A and B are shown apart, each in its own frame.
Chain A
Amino acid sequence: MKLYEYMAKGVLRENGVPVPPGRLARTPEEAEAAARSLGPCVVKAQVLVGGRGKAGGVKPAQTPEEARSRAGEILGMNLKGCVVETVYVESMLGIDRELYLGITMDNAAKRPLLIASASGGMEIEEVPERAIVRQPVPVEWGLMPYATRWVAHRLGLSGDLARQFGEIALKLYEIFRRYDAELVEINPLAVAGDRLVAADARLNVDDDALYRHPDLPRTSEATELEKRVRELGLAYVELDGDIAVMANGAGITMATLDVLQRYGGRPMNFLDAGGGAAAGPMAEALKVLVSTRPKAIFVNIFGGITRCDDVAQAVITARREVGISMPMVVRLVGTNEEKGVEMLRGEGIQAYRSMEEAAARAVELARAGEGVEG
């Protein structure tokens, strides 16, 4: 789960990392009022997607009136599919230089990694390898002060700036641990005169650890449809094709989409009903798929924990309760296969054993359905 900039900065501030004063605004009037108390400021779109600066979501304002009109421009703006509902009005910094500082989990090395650069800012991903400093952190012992001094030295920082950098890095690591972060990042970490200040911040919290952070605010990037299916406990991502897909397991679901695409079909979604989902939630998920009016539905199951008879029951329930008017292809093998296949046969549905044949058939049926109103 990603936090908005203003939320991430709230966490940083509470934990002693210097951030500029700022206020949240939902209307141009609120932005004007905020600017009146802050002085010259920056009006920043609060969205969860990156690259908002380049997309015009961050604008300076010298006066309260200007802040009001800048906020008017930004609020309601569509930034990469996200409509801006709030802006963060923040005191303007006299920035001399921009550094980068982030801590994330290095999945391959299986331990946290501190990453820093003297060339921070919007182009950080383009910075050459030699300008990036990496400091692995042992899980057992955490980040030690000496390691932050090494990093500061390699960034060319000295004196009080180096001392400030070390303090911020240690606090950032505490935040990384305390909030079960996947990523905590300050970009840019601004050199403003003799001070280091977090001019922008990001904090992504591990979804699997949210249960132990009841006090953190909740955000979501999911569409309404995605929320509906995820509430059933299943993984769902909307795509822009016309063949609805339900499979079990992330790998086989991805492979199912790949196979459909290789056959010239266009998958409409990623629905992973894995992990031993019961018939009830699977039936509800199928009903959601039906409501998206696909050209065809493809159910591809290799039952392990997931039982084929539960899948068959889900198909039958969905069909009885909402009707399935579009063509449907069911491929069913694995645990309790005979029972599931038999149940479907009783309903006049012939299940496939081969993924190859079933996928080809699904693409064929979707093609045949093109131009036909569902």
Chain B
Amino acid sequence: MAILVDDKTRVVVQGITGHQGSFHTSLMLEYGTRVVAGVSPGKGGQEVHGVPVYETVQEAVDKHGANASVLFVPAPFVKDAAFEAIEAGCSLVVVIAEHVPLHDAAAIVAFARQRGAIVIGPNTYGICSPGKSKIGIPPNSIFRPGAVGVVARSGTLSYEIVQAISQAGLGESTVVGMGGDRVVGLTFIDVLKRFEADEATRAVALVGEIGGTAEEEAAEFIKTMSKPVVAYVAGRSAPPGKRMGHAGAIIERGRGTYESKVAALTAAGVQVADFPWQVAELLRQKLGAA
């Protein structure tokens, strides 16, 4: 078991003929991901690393049963490409690009909600269920199949923590990069619910950062979970953030700081690591005791 993606996930790569699209298609294939088709408008009929390229996502879905899409398209074209994937029936859409306009991201998330699709990103490295499937751009070498579910807002910081979990021999059930942008498709709670229900997951690592209220909201849900959760929150040393006028302050109402997040998580029984490399050790203690 794993969450969101597994060896049955059939992936279409939008923007497959581009530099990044082509490069990461080869790495995903190397990892064992079932990349069944690519899409690049104007370039249908070609092949990239043996993967057939089509004009539309609909063809990829109809001819190859693609049910997930990963977008390697520049930020200004992300909204259109994501809508196309959702309309064509992909139930999972992974948006790698950073700098996607905020209003575009909100529109994508709203459309996905209407159609019951899940959006990972924007500004994400993607998702990996080790040994089964990787959709996105993280290095193949850091993963190892195992018992820890990892959910993160930031990218490279989770590579750091995932690698430590792998090296500690624990391994991961699924690693989800929700994306670093302010509006992304998933919330911590969406992912935590799935980990709680997933048989392969025995503990969860949550990698958060300052800003927004996602960690505080996650803490409320964690109180209801049976599985142990360990967290790391980045941004302890950041100077008081640049606030977005009064409306931002009114929404956050004192939440959003490092102290607020750690307090909320601790109150929910989460052990918060002082250093990123301690996450794996804390997980080992939890799993050893379980």
**Shortest CB distance A234–B (Å):** 12
Residues of B203-226 whose CB lies within 8 A of A: 207, 209-210, 212-214, 217
Q: Which residues of chain A have C-beta atoms less than 8 A from B253's C-beta? A: 129
Stretch at the interface among A28-36, A61-69, A161-169, A182-190: A182-190
B8 lies within 8 A of chain A by Cβ: no
Contact yes or no, B101 A206, CB < 8 A = yes
* Interface check B251, CB cutoff 8 A: yes
B107 within 8 A of A: yes
Does residue A224 face the partner (Cβ distance < 8 Å to B)?
Answer: no
Name, among A100, A303, A334, the residue most crowded by chain B CB atoms within 10 Å (CB to CB): A334
- How many Å lie between the Cα of A270 and that of B247 in the bound state? 26
The stretch from B47-55, B58-66, B127-135, B148-156 touching chain A is B148-156
- Is B75's beta carbon under 8 Å from chain A? yes
* Closest beta carbon of chain A to B143's beta carbon, Å: 12
By beta carbon, the residue of chain A nearest B182 is A107
A16 to chain B, nearest CB (A): 21
Name the one of A132, A204, A262 contacting B275, with C-beta atoms under 8 angstroms. Answer: A262
Among all A-B residue pairs, the 4 with the closest Cβ atoms = A251-B154, A249-B156, A251-B157, A209-B101
B contacts with A, residue count (CB < 8 A)? 63
A334 to B157, CA, bound (A): 12
Q: Which residues of A contact B154 (CB under 8 A)?
A: 249-252, 254
Q: What is the interface of chain B, defined by CB distance below 8 A to chain A?
A: 20, 75-76, 98-104, 106-107, 109-111, 114, 125, 137-139, 152-160, 163, 180, 182-183, 187, 207, 209-210, 212-214, 217, 232, 234-239, 242-251, 253, 274-277
Interface-lining segment among A108-116, A150-158, A317-325: A108-116
Q: A254-B210, A270-B238 are in contact. List 15 more A-B contacts (CB 8 A).
A: A105-B103, A107-B183, A111-B106, A115-B250, A183-B245, A208-B102, A209-B101, A211-B76, A221-B242, A251-B156, A252-B159, A252-B234, A255-B234, A262-B274, A304-B156
A364 at the A/B interface (Cβ < 8 Å)? Answer: no
Looking at chain A's contact residues, is the secondary structure mostly helix, strand, loop, or mixed? Answer: mixed
Is residue A139 contacting chain B, with contact meaning CB distance below 8 A? Answer: yes
A251 contacts B212, C-beta separation under 8 Å: no
A274 interface hit (Cβ, 8 Å): yes
Partner of B156, one of A206, A221, A302: A302
On whether the beta carbons of B160 and A252 are closer than 8 Å, the reply is: yes
Determine the residue in chain A with the shortest Cβ distance to B238: A254
Q: Which of A208, A250, A305 contacts B180 (CB 8 A)?
A: A250
The minimal Cβ–Cβ distance linking A351 to chain B, given in whole angstroms, is 16
Expressed in whole angstroms, the Cα–Cα distance for A80 and B288 within the complex equals 52
| Chain A residues whose C-beta falls within 8 Å of the C-beta of B249 in the assembled complex | 125
A148 lies within 8 A of chain B by Cβ: no
The answer on a CB contact under 8 Å between A355 and B248 is no
Q: Are A105 and B232 in contact (CB under 8 A)?
A: no
Asked whether A92 is an interface residue with its Cβ less than 8 Å from the other chain, the reply is: no
Residues 259-293 of A at the B interface (beta carbon under 8 Å): 259-262, 267, 270, 274-276
B247 touches A102 (CB 8 A): yes
What is the minimal beta-carbon distance from A117 to any residue of chain B, in angstroms? 9
**A257 contacts the other chain (CB 8 A):** yes
Q: In the complex, what distance in Å separates the CA atom of A105 from the CA atom of B207? A: 23
Give Cα A138–Cα B109 distance, bound, in whole angstroms.
11
Q: Report if A106 contacts B (CB, 8 A).
A: yes
CB nearest to A261 among chain B residues: B237
Is A182 a contact of B102 with CB atoms below 8 Å?
Answer: yes
Q: Are B159 and A356 in contact (CB under 8 A)?
A: no
A139 contacts B156, CB within 8 Å? no
The residue of chain B having its C-beta at the shortest distance from the C-beta of A111 within the complex is B106
Q: Which of A100, A104, A140 contacts B114 (CB 8 A)?
A: A140
Complex contact B157–A180 (CB within 8 A): no
Cα of A294 to Cα of B10 in the assembled complex, Å: 50
User: Are A108 and B187 in contact, CB atoms less than 8 angstroms apart?
Assistant: yes
Which chain A residue shows the least CB distance to B152? A251
Q: Given the interface contacts A250-B180, A255-B157, does A125 sit within 8 Å of B232 by beta carbon?
A: no
Among A102, A221, A251, A262, point to the contact of B153 (Cβ < 8 A).
Answer: A251
Bound Cα distance A111, B100 (Å): 16
**Complex CA–CA separation, A187 to B249 (angstroms):** 14
Say yes or no: B238 contacts A208, CB within 8 Å. no
A249 contacts B110, C-beta separation under 8 Å: no
Q: List chain B residues, Cβ under 8 A from A9.
A: none
Q: Which of B137, B163, B232, B237 has the most CB of A within 10 A?
A: B237
B274 / chain A contacts, CB cutoff of 8 Å: 262
9 A–B contacts from the bound complex (CB under 8 Å): A50-B246, A104-B248, A113-B247, A113-B251, A115-B247, A251-B157, A251-B209, A254-B209, A270-B238
Q: Are B245 and A108 in contact (CB under 8 A)?
A: no
Nearest Cβ distance between residue B205 and chain A, in whole angstroms?
A: 13
- Whole-angstrom CA separation of A139 from B76 in the bound complex: 19
* Residues 184-218 (chain A) with a chain B CB within 8 angstroms: 185, 187, 202, 204, 206, 208-209, 211-212
Whether, in the assembled complex, A225 has its beta carbon less than 8 Å from a beta carbon of chain B, the answer is no
Task: Answer whether residue A135 sits at the interface, using C-beta atoms and an 8 A cutoff.
Answer: no
CB pair B250 A124 closer than 8 Å: yes
Contact B102 A183 (CB under 8 A): no
